[in-house]
Amino acid sequence: MKAVGYKVPGPIAENASLVDIDLPRPVAAGHDILVEVMAVSVNPVDYKVRGSSPPADGDWKVLGWDAAGIVREVGSEVTQFKAGDEVYYAGSITRSGTNAQFHLVDARIVGKKPTSLDWAEAAALPLTTLTAWEAMFDRLDVAKPVPGAAAAILIIGGAGGVGSIAIQIARQRTDLTVIATASRPDTQEWVKGLGAHHVIDHSRPLAAQISELGIGAPAFVFSTTHTEKHAADIAELIAPQGRFALIDDPKVFDIMLFKRKAVSIHHELMFTRSIYGTPDMSEQGKILDAMAVLVDDGKIRTTLTRKLSPINAANLKTVHALIESSTSIGKIVLEGF
């Protein structure tokens, strides 16, 4: 089968950073399903792994986690899917990735593809949906009010992949006032179109802009990017006893900034359930099924903004470079082998 991989981690500009290769077709067993991959999207985790992680066995390392495709085989323990089903999912960081014609994935973390979306539109959603959903409902527990705080959530990086779906989930599944950050006219219009009640500029100090809104100190902050840059501002603007979640990897993070306000700090990694095989890992399949219903009911739209074809090394290099530049809006998807 066709696939894209690498043997030595390095910058995307290097010729060997991503290579077109041929690999044996896997076979489904146990809880796994074998999916014929129709479309994939690229996330920051792709370039972070590509730049730092060699293959464990010295062979080829295949990246890619978001995918939409067709079930071709099911393992003996699988009851929720059959051959021919259309699915979408975000996979596991501990296993070979989706940049391949056929991919093995644990059925428990797979959802039924929204029927109203094409392959590319569906492939844009899984990883960011799981990240935003888990951050808001499992980590921040946004359904539980913070005494005295404004019933509001600040989403830092509103035009990125996670921010774009987080805004929509917050609008559709909560009664919170949604404040999103964006710094350019095009990204500001994007987040407004997704439903943000207020838009502030993350290239300027955040606390003063929150104060100018006149709604009070937000109960919740969800930082998707540049947390290191904004930490002091977040500590200033968040309500006492507020809850703060982050998904990026700040090199420096002073947790003591938040002690005086007794702010709880939550890390979100959507791979945690699959890495550790947690007893509740099937929740991810349920979340994706719930998202499919919201999409098919017209309440949430895909965050796809650009599509390339086919899925090959050259196109993946282009997309990796765009994602690394931190200037892309929404999600970029590759379709077809």
Q: pTM for the whole thing?
A: 0.96
Helix then strand then coil, in percent of the chain rounded to 5, is 30, 25, 45
Q: What is the pLDDT of residue 163?
A: 97
Q: Is the confidence at residue 57, as pLDDT, over 90?
A: no
Residue-by-residue DSSP string for 188-239:
HHHHHHHT-SEEE-TTS-HHHHHHHHTS--EEEEEE-S-HHHHHHHHHHHSP
Q: What is the pLDDT of residues 87-143, one digit of tens each?
A: 999 999 999 999 999 999 999 999 999 999 999 999 999 999 999 999 999 999 999
Provide the 3-class DSSP secondary structure of residue 70.
strand
